[in-house]
């Protein structure tokens, strides 16, 4: 068994595919020594055979047609790093049908079609590794599934999109505009093929769907996650947040309580003193409460070729160990049964504190009109800032509220929008303080 070769076929030689191949080649000897098997990249399939990825592959390794990998009986592990739903799903299901183990970084696919994929893997007794699908280099799948197995998991707060965090950090530290920063994140290989997934919170929702299913024994519930992105955040809001002692972060939040769990992704005002408020750039962090461990914060790079490649290699190595031990189906245990019976709480029933920014005419009586509407909807004001003094002209008015119900806040905002003294659309952000 000592000299057994495990053959690997990679589909997709882009950012993550190249990072993975680079690590497997660079650390081949060390991996062999630690695993007791040789990991051989037999083929890499990519539609683009021309771009130089800075890696010298042996002749014949790079091929165009992924089916050659799927049809090769010698390939033990198929690594899907092409992204998207189809044909990635067909390729994965085909690999599973042929009895091959699968490793993927494709959170969009798992969040949408995970039930089907994990069910197929279970039937075929093969493993599906997906460590790279959430939070890049942070081994959060292993932490939640294995390290914290003795815990009932409580609240989870995560910065789990590197691109959005990179953009918000640059906007905060350098006052640069949104567009140029997104371009930088794309050039660095952090962004998704469709970057609206990053900036509209969709990628974070994909990851939260996977994490919540693992943590709480829910079915994967992507369509029940409230999702809001960062595109409406302006430097003005970042400045106001700072005046109140907060940072703005795109948070993925899971809060179980009784028979329900809140699942939401939105830009959030986080108290500056909290560790997660100081997670910057492409770094991710996930705060997880366990009833035995107490609170833990896991931190690391959330995107990019090498951090993500490292997570892919970790899954490949686990599967190789299990193949060697004759227990190759060990990793497929993604619990898709929905064992907990928990239901996702409706967003309208969620309660949080809010930050509101609106443009209102600076004249007597305006504030009382706004606070009257809030009061009529059971919302009480905690503090308020008015910027500037421009009689009879529009000024920015910013309010922080005490905890209020989402349903009440939406109703109040509708009424405030109708006031003739308020121009434009008021911006609202939810606030997380004590826990994050």
Question: Is 136 near ligand HSE (CB under 6 A)?
Answer: yes
Residue 309 interacting entry, from ligand HSE, ligand NDP, none, C-beta within 5 to 8 Å by type: none
Looking at beta carbons only, is 156 or 397 nearer to ligand HSE? Answer: 156
Residue 81 interacting entry, from ligand HSE, ligand NDP, none, C-beta within 5 to 8 Å by type: ligand NDP
Question: Is 241 near ligand NDP (CB under 6 A)?
Answer: no
Question: Is 83 near ligand NDP (CB under 6 A)?
Answer: yes
Looking at beta carbons only, is 21 or 404 nearer to ligand NDP? Answer: 21
Q: Which position among 163, 169, 172, 401 is part of the footprint of ligand HSE (CB under 6 A)?
A: 163
Question: Is 189 near ligand NDP (CB under 6 A)?
Answer: yes
Looking at beta carbons only, is 281 or 338 nearer to ligand HSE? Answer: 281
Q: Which position among 110, 303, 370, 409 is part of the footprint of ligand HSE (CB under 6 A)?
A: 303
**Binding letters toward ligand NDP, positions 20-59, x by CB under 6 A:** -------------------------xxxx-----------
Q: Which position among 46, 112, 203, 289 is part of the footprint of ligand HSE (CB under 6 A)?
A: 203
Q: Which position among 83, 114, 129, 162 is part of the footprint of ligand HSE (CB under 6 A)?
A: 162
| Per annotation, catalytic residue among 42, 100, 170, 207 | 207
Q: Which position among 76, 80, 192, 362 is part of the footprint of ligand HSE (CB under 6 A)?
A: 192
Residue 207 among the catalytic residues: yes
C-alpha span between 125 and 427 (Å, rounded): 50
Looking at beta carbons only, is 256 or 304 nearer to ligand HSE? Answer: 304
Looking at beta carbons only, is 201 or 290 nearer to ligand HSE? Answer: 201
Reduce the secondary structure of 248-316 to three states and give it as a string.
EEEEEEEEEECCEEEEEEEEEEEECCCHHHHCCCCEEEEEEEECCCEEEEEEEECCCHHHHHHHHHHHH
How many residues touch ligand HSE (CB under 6 A)?
11
**Binding letters toward ligand NDP, positions 99-118, x by CB under 6 A:** ------xxx-----------
Residue 267 interacting entry, from ligand NDP, ligand HSE, none, C-beta within 5 to 8 Å by type: none
Enumerate binding residues for ligand NDP (CB under 6 A): 11-17, 45-48, 66, 81-83, 87, 105-107, 132, 136, 189-190, 192-193, 303-304, 308
Q: Which residues are catalytic?
A: 207
């Amino acid at each position: 068994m000592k000299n057994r070769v495990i053959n690997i076929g990679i589909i997709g030689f882009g950012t993550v595919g190249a990072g993975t191949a680079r690590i497997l080649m660079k650390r081949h000897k060390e991996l062999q020594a630690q695993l007791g098997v040789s990991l051989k990249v037999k083929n890499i399939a990519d539609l683009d055979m021309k771009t130089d990825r800075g890696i010298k592959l042996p002749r014949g390794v790079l091929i165009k047609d992924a089916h050659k990998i799927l049809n090769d009986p010698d390939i033990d592990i198929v690594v899907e790093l092409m992204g998207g739903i189809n044909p990635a799903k067909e390729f994965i299901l085909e690999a599973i049908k042929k009895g091959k183990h699968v490793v993927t970084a494709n959170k969009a696919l798992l969040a949408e079609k995970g039930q089907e994929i994990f069910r197929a893997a279970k039937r075929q007794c093969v493993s599906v590794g997906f460590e790279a699908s959430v939070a890049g280099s942070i081994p959060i799948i292993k932490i939640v599934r294995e390290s914290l197995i003795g815990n009932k998991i409580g609240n989870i707060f995560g910065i789990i999109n590197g691109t959005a965090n990179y953009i918000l950090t640059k906007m905060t530290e350098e006052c640069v505009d949104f567009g140029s920063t997104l371009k930088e994140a794309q050039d660095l290989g952090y962004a998704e093929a469709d970057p609206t997934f990053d900036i509209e919170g969709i990628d974070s929702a994909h990851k939260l769907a996977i994490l919540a299913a693992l943590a709480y024994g829910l079915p994967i519930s992507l369509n029940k996650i409230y999702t809001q992105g960062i595109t409406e955040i302006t430097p003005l809001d970042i400045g106001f947040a700072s005046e109140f002692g907060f940072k703005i972060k795109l948070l993925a939040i899971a809060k179980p309580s009784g028979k329900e769990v809140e699942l939401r992704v939105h830009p959030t005002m986080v108290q500056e003193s909290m560790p997660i408020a100081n997670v910057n750039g492409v770094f991710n962090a996930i705060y997880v409460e366990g009833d035995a461990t107490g609170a833990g914060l896991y931190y690391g790079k959330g995107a990019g070729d090498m951090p993500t490649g490292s997570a892919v290699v970790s899954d490949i190595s686990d599967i190789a160990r299990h193949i060697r031990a004759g227990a190759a189906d060990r990793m497929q245990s993604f619990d898709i049964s929905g064992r907990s019976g928990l239901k996702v709480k409706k967003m309208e029933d969620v309660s949080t504190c809010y930050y509101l920014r609106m443009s209102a005419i600076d004249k007597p009586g305006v504030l009382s009109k706004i606070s009257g509407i809030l009061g009529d909807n059971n919302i009480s004001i905690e503090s308020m800032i008015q910027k500037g003094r421009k009689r009879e002209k529009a000024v920015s008015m910013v309010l922080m509220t005490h905890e209020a119900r989402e349903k009440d806040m939406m109703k109040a905002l509708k009424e405030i929008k109708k006031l003739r003294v308020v121009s434009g659309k008021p911006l609202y952000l939810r606030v997380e303080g004590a826990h994050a």
